[in-house]
Amino acid sequence: RTGERRWVFFTIPQSNDDFGADTWENESWRYTGHANVWGLMSLDEERGLLYVPTSTPGGDYWGGHRPGANLFAESLVCLDARTGERQWHFQAVHHGVWDYDFNSPPNLVTINVDGREIDAVAEVSKQGFTYVFDRVTGEPVWPIEERPVDTETDVPGEVLYPTQPFPTKPPPFAKQGVSLDDANDLTPEIHALAVEEMKQFRLGPLFTPPSLRGTLMRPTVSGGADWGGAAFDPETGLLYVRSTEGTTTNQVCRNTGEDPAIDVDYSNNCPHGAAAMIFGNRPGATEVARSKLGGIPLIKPPYAYLVAIDLNAGEIAWKVPFGEGSRVLRNHPLLRGVELPDRLGTFSHLGSLVTKGGLVFLGGGDPYLYAFDKATGDEIWRGATPFRTSSNPMTYRSRSGRQFVVIATGAGPDAALVALARPN
């Protein structure tokens, strides 16, 4: 009412006496930033509990200046919404150097596990994990194991954390890690080029470290799950998440100030590359220029899925490829005359909407809004939109009782809000 500040919770300790200060060795909390909240928070209104997903500490891919686990970065933190006091926390990535921060809104759900009703919070992640906790105590609904990960690195000054958390249930909803077995095999020529190119990089499982050589990482910094998050059906206990499948290069460069190509490469190409990836489903300019594949992904399709996760059982209920794939890819010269799958999969940041009428609505990356059977994943319908869809679907009823589904499409001057409904 007044705008007066009530409380502050610092996601990075402010003194050596603060909780978590010992996870910032060499007092690196003094000069490190980020670990901010750039996704959406969720509030349990009845209990007054606020669930806060946090980001990677700076810099995203090199942590030599911040040894330690780095609390409360890349964590889910539960706060008392009235006082800002921490109730519990869980860190999903220790000493992050992959940009695997949380940016999906936490889902507040009620599930039934082995006959026990649990008010839980579920957080889907870029890595393709679903972390599920008791909403009040923070206890994992299923065990989360600390497992050894690769810490071998050629990056000067980097000291990687020896373990990372792995949920035992539900299984990952996205593919994790990269090997030569994943090389794109749409044609023999493409497969040979993909293998040749992949051999230039460091390959390995999830949490393979960045490198001077360049590490292919999957999922990418855009997920797995992303901003759009997941949709929960309280009637069935199913959680619906759109998963982006792809690779990116995690390469650390020595910037000695003597190689202007590093800065020129970024300033000339990266702004265009980012815009193309988000709005045009084309690879960034830097990636195309360096690849003999000319924009064809190194790995096999599909490049996106819609996944239903049974949170009562902790299992994947179903998983179907999502999206026909970008027109740029489908019309690529190396793919002329090739019979392609109907669903190559389409890159997107977007999430879904589940309705009581038995449907899951989802857009993302191509100019269609899709409806799927929420029980089976079968595609029921798709409708063309004027531009590529660019938001999660929304739904409402008019005063007459008619239900509408609305989605934003396009960006900038080429944008439109599209509303659809069944005939009266």
What would the pLDDT profile of 36-52 be if each residue is shown by its tens digit?
A: 999 999 999 999 999 99
Residues 6+ apart with CB under 8 A from 352: 228, 230, 231, 240, 241, 242, 306, 360, 361, 362, 392, 393
Tokens of 243: 């998963």
The DSSP line for 171-197 is: PPSS---B-GGGB--SSHHHHHHHHHH
- Distance between CA atoms of 246 and 224, rounded to whole angstroms? 9
pLDDT higher than threshold 50 for residue 272: no
Distances (CA, A) of 387 to 54, 219, 321, 395: 32, 27, 21, 19
Per the domain annotation, does 181 fall within a domain? Answer: yes
- Distance between CA atoms of 360 and 370, rounded to whole angstroms? 8
HSE, CB side, 13 Å, CA atoms: give it for residue 43.
Answer: 7
3-class SS of residue 381? strand
Per the domain annotation, does 13 fall within a domain? Answer: no
Beta-bridge mates of residue 318 = 308
Per the domain annotation, does 29 fall within a domain? Answer: yes
Per the domain annotation, does 117 fall within a domain? Answer: yes
- Distance between CA atoms of 104 and 229, rounded to whole angstroms? 4
| pLDDT band at residue 265 under the 50/70/90 scheme | low
Quick one: pLDDT at residue 263?
59
Quick one: pLDDT at residue 277?
38
pLDDT digits (tens, 9 = 90+) for 318-362: 999 999 988 889 999 999 999 999 999 998 889 999 999 999 999
Own/partner contacts of 277-285, CB < 8 Å, gap of 24 or more, are 277/222, 277/347, 278/349, 278/411, 279/388, 279/390, 279/411, 280/326, 280/328, 280/388, 281/326, 281/327, 281/328, 281/329, 281/346, 281/347, 281/365, 281/366, 281/388, 282/326, 282/328
Per the domain annotation, does 104 fall within a domain? Answer: yes
Domain of 111 in residue numbering reads as 21-349
- Average pLDDT of the chain is 92
Structural domain count, the chain: 1
Per the domain annotation, does 394 fall within a domain? Answer: no
Per the domain annotation, does 3 fall within a domain? Answer: no
Per the domain annotation, does 421 fall within a domain? Answer: no
pLDDT higher than threshold 80 for residue 255: no
pLDDT higher than threshold 70 for residue 285: no
| Cis status, amide bond into 219, omega within 30 of 0 | yes
Looking only at the bridges linking them, the beta strands covering 359-363 and 352-354 are: antiparallel
Residues 6+ apart with CB under 8 A from 322: 242, 302, 304, 305, 306, 343, 345, 346, 362, 364, 370
